[in-house]
A and B are shown apart, each in its own frame.
Chain A
Amino acid sequence: MKGKVWKFGDDIDTDIIIPGRYLIHTDPKILSKHCMEGLDSKFYEKVNKGDIIVGGKNFGCGSSREHAPIAIKGLGISAILAESFARIFYRNSTNIGISLLESPGISKVISQGDEIEIDMKNGFIITEKGNKYKFKELPSFMLNILEKGGLIQYLKEQTPE
């Protein structure tokens, strides 16, 4: 997959991704309109389908609100790269089928607006300049969930009705 980069810093928390006052909604379309609005109130207008978020360390720290990855997915973001992810956000994103790729050092070699490519099969991030960086391999259990498109689909196939 290829996409334009939206770059964020360290410790991007779930209140930044989707503030608490919007958690009364479950519709991805409504949630995505408020995604990252504390940092940029027009973020949802600027993002295009297939774009990629690049964060620093501890991306997604804070709350267990699944509304956070749902808001990001609702924007059409294809993947999130970061130095590291907070645990609950990591699980929640995988469970709804978003690829989270951990690659220490990655935020130093990618800039806002870069066009980058992700080679999921071989485990590489290819920067605009053509440099390749490895991302950490996902545990096979999580890879299975991602390949099915999320935990619900995975469970459905485990227990056919």
Chain B
Amino acid sequence: MSKTISEKILSNASDKNVRSGDIVIANIDVAMMHDLTGPLALESFNKISKKVWDLDKIVIPFDHQTPADSLEAANNHIIMREFIKEQGIKNFYDINQGICHQILPELGHVVPGEVIVGTDSHTCAHGALGAFSTGIGSTDMAMVLSTGKLWFKVPETIHFNISGKLKENVYSKDVILYIISKVGADGANYKACEFGGETVSYMGISERMVLSNMAIEMGGKTGLIEPDRKTLNYVKNRSTKQFKVFKTDLDADSLEQIQIDVSNIEPQIACPHHVDNVKPISEVDTEIDQVFLGSCTNGRIEDLRIAAKILKGNKIANGVRMLVIPASKEVYSNALDEGLIKIFVGAGALVCNPCCGPCLGGHIGLIGPREVSLSTSNRNFKGRQGSPDGEVYLSSPAVAATSAIHGRISAPQ
């Protein structure tokens, strides 16, 4: 019987033959929580259990408020570190490692075919490697920590069949913003997204992660990409875990196909205050105060290379601030080796430690009233990066770097 990847993975994880619409109790392969949502999960966990179900399958990175910027954050870090020590949790990454969604795949915690949950909505990013990976809340995490299981409604799937060669200076960020503008902020609510087609097969893993990362911005439960040779190379270089590869049957009953032709799109900009409020760059002309290059969406080495190539030999416009935040220690270290950090500093940018940065509007780089941020991150909700009277635009790293030079949202030439 024809099935989607989600149906196959959730069947495998529940030892049952399940279809979309079924409620299943699935075994969890990886449970991730970070410094910001972790404390709440522990409050719930402490009400129902004393010992976690598995010391190897829990991964705890600190990334949202690192280093601690307040006494409250420092206290949250203490709560988490004490729990990790008491329980003996093995995969703990303190403030020096980077963003959860970057380091999980980088350090080999993500392999195809697994069920991964995290107390962060962008956990859907790991679908790029063929895992069923989704964001959950803190109380659900308490159940996972104590039992190693969680209930799911097996989702229907939207398969985006993406075709066409991207024009110069158009990237996977533009593709996903274009898709979100087509289906809307709730266009995939309760459903799994799959990204396939010739355009995706040409993309590297880093570019694919951008697509999967933003599946949640159209409501998607996960953002799957069928594993291919590139996926297997990436995973085998980084993980020693055994895994199974599941593929979608395109004739599955629960699968809806949407054709997306990206051969003629120009760089896309998500305008305030919704991610589906997308315009082609030729229709946007706005002065900016701050540029943020980074986040789990676009803070990888490939993104930094694109931005550095544009910034090399140029200066950031007067009155504009630019924050560059590598997504992980590995990205930071590679950027140093490749001379990218020197280019950023030379252009007048401020390079910060690997962390979520202004993306969540709770740590560094907040914007004030009437200020405008251009960001390579994934959300532009009202107040997302600080003041509710500020504005956030979203773009690719190429547009972010070009705009930093010009002081207004500008297309790369």
In the complex, the chain A residue whose C-beta lies closest to that of B379 is A62
Q: Are B36 and A24 closer than 8 Å at their CB atoms?
A: yes
Cβ distance A117 to chain B, nearest Cβ, rounded Å: 28
Contact residues in A for B70 (Cβ distance below 8 Å)? 24
C-alpha spacing A101/B384, complex, angstroms: 27
Contact residues in B for A1 (Cβ distance below 8 Å)? none
Contact residues in A for B139 (Cβ distance below 8 Å)? 66, 92, 95-96, 150-152
C-alpha spacing A18/B44, complex, angstroms: 20
Using a CB-CB cutoff of 8 Å, which residues 114-152 of chain B contact chain A? 118-121, 123, 135-140, 142-143, 146, 151
Residue among A23, A24, A25, A88 making CB contact with B137, cutoff 8 Å: A88
A65 at the interface (CB under 8 A from B): yes
A115 at the interface (CB under 8 A from B): no
Residue among B73, B119, B123, B382 making CB contact with A16, cutoff 8 Å: B382
Known: A87-B219, A91-B136. A38 touches B388 (CB 8 A): yes
For chain B, the count of residues having a C-beta within 8 Å of the partner chain is 50
Residue among B121, B146, B274 making CB contact with A64, cutoff 8 Å: B121
B285 at the interface (CB under 8 A from A): no
Q: Are B121 and A88 closer than 8 Å at their CB atoms?
A: yes
Q: Are A141 and B135 closer than 8 Å at their CB atoms?
A: no
B23 at the interface (CB under 8 A from A): yes
Q: Are B384 and A15 closer than 8 Å at their CB atoms?
A: yes
Q: Are B48 and A139 closer than 8 Å at their CB atoms?
A: no
Q: Are A152 and B37 closer than 8 Å at their CB atoms?
A: no
Contact residues in B for A21 (Cβ distance below 8 Å)? 361-362, 366, 386
Using a CB-CB cutoff of 8 Å, which residues 360-413 of chain B contact chain A? 360-362, 366, 379, 381-384, 386, 388
Q: Are A38 and B40 closer than 8 Å at their CB atoms?
A: no
Contact residues in A for B382 (Cβ distance below 8 Å)? 13, 15-16, 38-39
Cβ distance B379 to chain A, nearest Cβ, rounded Å: 7
Known: A62-B121, A64-B121. A88 touches B135 (CB 8 A): yes
Q: Are B185 and A11 closer than 8 Å at their CB atoms?
A: yes
A47 at the interface (CB under 8 A from B): no
Q: Are B186 and A26 closer than 8 Å at their CB atoms?
A: no
A20 at the interface (CB under 8 A from B): yes
Q: Are B136 and A88 closer than 8 Å at their CB atoms?
A: yes
C-alpha spacing A156/B46, complex, angstroms: 12
Cβ distance B26 to chain A, nearest Cβ, rounded Å: 14
Contact residues in A for B136 (Cβ distance below 8 Å)? 64, 88, 91
Contact residues in B for A87 (Cβ distance below 8 Å)? 189-190, 219, 221
For chain A, the count of residues having a C-beta within 8 Å of the partner chain is 41
Cβ distance B296 to chain A, nearest Cβ, rounded Å: 13
Contact with A along B8-40 (1 / 0, CB 8 A): 000000000000000100000000000011011
In the complex, the chain A residue whose C-beta lies closest to that of B48 is A155
A19 at the interface (CB under 8 A from B): yes
Using a CB-CB cutoff of 8 Å, which residues 72-106 of chain B contact chain A? 72-73, 76
Contact residues in B for A16 (Cβ distance below 8 Å)? 381-383
C-alpha spacing A96/B140, complex, angstroms: 10
Contact residues in A for B44 (Cβ distance below 8 Å)? 152
In the complex, the chain A residue whose C-beta lies closest to that of B378 is A62
Known: A20-B384, A141-B151. A61 touches B186 (CB 8 A): yes
Contact residues in A for B388 (Cβ distance below 8 Å)? 19, 37-39
Q: Are B140 and A23 closer than 8 Å at their CB atoms?
A: no
Cβ distance A144 to chain B, nearest Cβ, rounded Å: 11
Q: Are B36 and A57 closer than 8 Å at their CB atoms?
A: no
B47 at the interface (CB under 8 A from A): yes
C-alpha spacing A15/B392, complex, angstroms: 13
B65 at the interface (CB under 8 A from A): yes
Known: A58-B189, A152-B139. A64 touches B40 (CB 8 A): no
In the complex, the chain B residue whose C-beta lies closest to that of A67 is B40
Cβ distance B385 to chain A, nearest Cβ, rounded Å: 9
Contact with B along A11-54 (1 / 0, CB 8 A): 10101100111111110000000000111000000000000000
Cβ distance A129 to chain B, nearest Cβ, rounded Å: 29
Contact residues in B for A22 (Cβ distance below 8 Å)? 362
Q: Looking at A87, A92, A95, which has the most chain B CB atoms within 10 Å of its CB?
A: A87
- The 3 A-B residue pairs whose C-beta atoms are closest, nearest first, are A38-B388, A92-B137, A20-B362
Q: What residues of chain B have their CB less than 8 Å away from a CB belonging to chain A? A: 23, 36-37, 39-40, 43-44, 47-48, 64-65, 70, 72-73, 76, 118-121, 123, 135-140, 142-143, 146, 151, 153, 185-186, 189-190, 216, 219, 221, 274, 360-362, 366, 379, 381-384, 386, 388
